[in-house]
């Protein structure tokens, strides 16, 4: 008998790729998605890219009746429904808290009435704040944070009181959370709500902390989505990607197909129950490198604009330690970054993107959220 899986937010970027992965492996897939205008545009129609084998229920994660209907006959749930974006979360506080926190609570109360064999929740690397660091004497820095005074002086890198720079390290799941944005707080809340409720009701739960996911189907007209999609939107419109700080901040970019496989492995691995895993690539690139590489594969002779400004909620360096996911899930990233970028560039050739980045940047600046 085939297992039926529900993906909340299943018509979106990562959810739709996960649906492909699951259907290919013989699962039946249902998606609950509100087809948000910011992600899907004003028409609110079923995305063309969504696998025809997916049963789509259009509804909101905060709607108890829609959630109950979506859970009927379901064996497992992937909870991806969320508003996404660090900058926007700092002024749409009620919206982010309502969708991400309250929406998760609605789902969990429905799951208490209709238990499933497993729940996997999408968390985020943003909960770490700054990644793990070492000092010059080898001490580990768990909760590093840059002061506003340092940022105003364009002192971007973390350092000790003597001015010695901290060395960024791969960040493991054991690093203490350091929540630097409303978005990060809401993702940690989603993670903890699911794990706590799962333990209380004997329902297996796994939380996956996604790093910077990229690939086809990203919402190119959403100025608060992943950095590669934002850069792509700018380049498609002949505009320079805008980079905060000096562009030398490092991130871990993981292909969406690797993420989808990690999700399936979490579903199928009993040892993952009650655990939290990083899902990244283990690589690290500066944001400036990313902009240059993307412009190159897109055939655009446009240099990024480094603004020298700081955005509230941003962190300097964070990239994944995958030891735990490799050991327990058997997860190994398989898509090389250059290959993933080339695939993305080919997909972008047929895409139209509304470049709303300047408007979003002005919105942040008007609220004092850039320095």
**Length of the chain, in residues:** 371
Q: Is residue 251 part of a domain?
A: yes
Of 264, 240, 227, nearest to 341 (Cα)?
227
Task: Identify the band that residue 126 occupies on the pLDDT scale cut at 50, 70 and 90.
Answer: very high
Q: Is residue 371 part of a domain?
A: no
Is 91 among the residues known to form the active site? no
Phi and psi at 356, nearest 5°, equal: -105, 15
Of 5, 17, 8, 11, nearest to 258 (Cα)?
17
pLDDT higher than threshold 60 for residue 2: yes
Q: Is residue 42 part of a domain?
A: yes
Q: Where are the beta strands (DSSP E) in 86-152?
A: 118-124, 132-134, 140-141
If 0-12 CB within 10 Å is exposed, 13-18 middle and 19+ buried, where does residue 138 land?
Answer: exposed
Please tell me the distance from the alpha carbon of residue 257 to that of residue 262, in angstroms, as a whole number.
9
Q: Is residue 214 part of a domain?
A: yes
**Domain range for residue 76?**
4-366
- What's 166's DSSP letter? P
Residue 179's SS3 state is coil
Task: Identify the band that residue 114 occupies on the pLDDT scale cut at 50, 70 and 90.
Answer: very high
Q: Is residue 262 part of a domain?
A: yes
The mean predicted confidence, pLDDT, of the chain is 93
pLDDT, position 187:
97
- The pLDDT tens digits of the residues spanning 143-164 come to 888 888 888 889 999 888 888 9
Please tell me the distance from the alpha carbon of residue 82 to that of residue 99, in angstroms, as a whole number.
6
pLDDT higher than threshold 90 for residue 133: yes
Q: Is residue 247 part of a domain?
A: yes
Handedness of CA 244, 248, 252, 256 (dihedral sign): positive
pLDDT, position 369:
64
Helix runs in the chain, H state only:
13-24, 37-40, 64-71, 86-89, 93-96, 103-113, 148-152, 182-200, 227-236, 256-268, 287-297, 323-324, 337-348, 357-366
pLDDT, position 41:
85
pLDDT higher than threshold 90 for residue 183: yes
Please report, for the domain that includes residue 343, its CATH number.
3.40.50.720
Q: What percent of the chain has pLDDT over 70?
A: 95
Task: Identify the band that residue 3 occupies on the pLDDT scale cut at 50, 70 and 90.
Answer: very high
Model confidence, pTM:
0.94
Active-site entry in 27, 128, 166, 183? 183
- The pLDDT tens digits of the residues spanning 200-254 come to 999 999 999 999 999 999 988 776 677 888 898 899 899 999 999 999 999 999 9
If one counts the domains in the chain, the total is 1
pLDDT, position 118:
98
Q: Is residue 94 part of a domain?
A: yes
Helix/strand/coil percent split, the chain, to 5: 40, 20, 45
pLDDT, position 360:
64
pLDDT higher than threshold 60 for residue 1: no
């Amino acid at each position: 008998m085939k297992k039926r899986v529900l993906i909340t937010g299943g018509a979106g970027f990562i959810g739709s790729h996960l649906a492909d992965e699951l259907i290919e492996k013989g699962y039946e897939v249902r998606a609950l998605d509100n087809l948000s205008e910011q992600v899907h545009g004003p028409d609110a129609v079923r995305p063309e890219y969504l696998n025809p084998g997916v049963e789509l229920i259009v509804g909101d994660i905060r709607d108890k009746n829609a959630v109950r209907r979506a859970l009927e006959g379901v064996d497992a749930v992937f909870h991806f429904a969320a508003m996404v974006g660090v900058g926007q979360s700092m002024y749409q506080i009620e919206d982010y808290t309502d969708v991400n926190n309250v929406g998760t609570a609605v789902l969990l109360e429905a799951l208490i009435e209709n238990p499933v064999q497993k729940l996997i929740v999408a968390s985020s690397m943003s909960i770490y704040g700054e990644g793990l660091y070492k000092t010059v004497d080898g001490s580990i820095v768990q909760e590093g944070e840059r002061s506003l005074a340092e940022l105003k002086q364009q002192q971007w890198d973390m350092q000790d009181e003597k001015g010695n720079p901290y060395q960024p390290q791969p960040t493991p799941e054991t690093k203490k959370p350091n929540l630097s944005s409303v978005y990060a707080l809401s993702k940690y809340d989603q993670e903890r709500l699911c794990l706590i409720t799962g333990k209380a009701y004997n329902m297996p739960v796994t939380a996956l902390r996604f790093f910077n996911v990229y690939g086809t189907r990203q919402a190119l007209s959403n100025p608060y989505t992943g950095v590669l999609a934002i850069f792509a939107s700018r380049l498609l419109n002949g505009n320079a990607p805008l980079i905060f700080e000096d562009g030398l901040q490092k991130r871990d970019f993981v292909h969406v197909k690797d993420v989808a496989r990690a999700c399936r492995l979490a579903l199928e691995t009993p040892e993952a129950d009650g655990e939290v895993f990083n899902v990244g690539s283990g690589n690290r690139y500066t944001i400036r490198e990313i902009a240059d590489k993307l412009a190159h594969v897109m055939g655009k002779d446009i240099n990024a604009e480094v603004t020298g400004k700081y955005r509230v909620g941003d962190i300097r360096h964070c990239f994944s330690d995958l030891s735990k996911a490799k050991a327990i899930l058997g997860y190994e990233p398989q898509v090389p970054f250059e290959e993933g970028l080339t695939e993305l560039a080919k997909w972008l050739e047929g895409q139209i993107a509304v470049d709303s980045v300047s408007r979003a940047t002005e919105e942040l600046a008007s609220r004092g959220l850039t320095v």
